[in-house]
Amino acid sequence: MLVIFKSLEFKEGKLFLIDQRKLPGEKEYFLCHTYQDVEYAIARMVVRGAPAIGATAAYGLYLAAKEFQKHAKRDFFPKMREASYMLRKSRATAVSLAWALKRMERITEEEQDKELPEIVKRLKEEADKIAREDIEINRSIGRYGRELVAEGAVILTHCNTGGLATVGYGTALGVIRAAYERDKKIHVYANETRPWLQGARLTAFELREEGIPVTVIIDSVAATLIRDGKIDLIIVGADRIASNGDTANKIGTFMLSELAKNYHVPFYVAAPVSTIDFELDNGSEIEIEERAPEEVTHIQSIQIVPDGVDVYNPAFDLTPHENIDGIITEKGIIRAPYKEGLASLKQI
Ligand code: MRU
């Protein structure tokens, strides 16, 4: 029986987030009553993964609207713009955040002549729609992607791209799920993914719950496995894809893609179309989030780096499109030349 992990749920007037900082040890919910709670949850990684933070931000803007409807109508719109800006700044790289907020802003604009309670109602409907659609989109990515997974395949993945990183089901992990649902005998290697350990804590947790065979490795083992011919396929997610296919994803992805190219292992990115930033020509324009040094100097409050030592902690890196064999979207698998292929998705 497959378990569909849902990272978030809006009920009883508040947003319930599984606190991903505490998994797998504790299954605790973090409750967001206000848009400031939502901003905190995204910035502090209570919720993470591009599609999940997009949907979370949408509910954040709805919570803001609920609060601001108490004010005069002329104050409502500037306050909404401020709240949206604050939510957008909570993390830098994942374009899903800006994409979801833009959808919410469009509703605010379209409905601006209506009474505030009506606008607020429409915003809730839109946030629900974003969340609902995400699961359908992931299932579709899974259906396309599973065709790439051969019987008995050994798959390497990085970070967490499962139900926890999305509203449910997952992107790269959704492909793995979809293959498993078809009774394919697969084995997954999950990179632990320093420093947040999304692979060791979250991917391993999700796969174990579903009985999908998984082996956790430290990130530096990947090269040996790939060189020794132990990996048939690499599938990762994406935080932002430029129009030419260059892809920003969790730090370490680029290294895997170089290994894949060198040892001729198929390397695929699985992501919804909303992850494509058509405003960017290539990946050099993608802002790469840099996070606090403490994430590297400390492991669960234990200091492992001497005082006063510099740390460089980018959360993502850039994989050039030449290293990618295909981008699995909900509308099909796009291959090089990416510029044309990705642009065609706009029309479908
Ligand atoms: O820093 P995180 O945990 O938010 O990074 C997540 C990733 O890099 C994922 O691969 C990406 O968001 C895709 S999730 C479906």
Residue with the larger pLDDT of the pair 5 and 206 = 206
**Which band of pLDDT confidence, cut at 50, 70 and 90, is reported for residue 347?**
confident
Distance, CA of 116 to CA of 80 (rounded, Å): 12
Q: How far is CA 280 from the centre of its chain?
A: 19
Confidence label for 3 from pLDDT (cuts 50, 70 and 90): low
Pick from 317, 171, 340, 189: which is nearest to 257 by CA? 317
Q: What are the catalytic residues?
A: 239
pLDDT for position 4: 54
Please work out whether the CB of residue 171 comes within 6 Å of at least one atom of ligand 1.
yes
The pTM of the full predicted model, rounded to 2 decimals, is: 0.97
Quote the Cα angle for 1-162-8, to 5°: 90
Check if 84 has its Cβ closer than 6 Å to any atom of ligand 1. no
CB-based contacts of 283: which residues, under 8 Å, 6+ apart? 242, 244, 246, 247, 248, 318, 319, 320, 321
CB 254 within 8 A of CB 292: no
Tens digits of per-residue pLDDT, 115-149? 999 999 999 999 999 999 999 999 999 999 999 99
Tell me what percent of the residues of the chain surpass a pLDDT of 90. Answer: 97
Which residue out of 156, 161, 191, 234 has the highest number of ligand 1 atoms within 8 Å of its CB and is therefore the one to mutate? 161
Which tens digits make up the pLDDT trace of 27-55? 999 999 999 999 999 999 999 999 999 99
From residue 249, alpha-carbon distances to 49, 79, 134, 140, 211 in Å are 10, 32, 19, 21, 27
Name the residue of 19, 198, 247 to mutate for ligand 1: max ligand atoms within 8 A of Cβ: 198
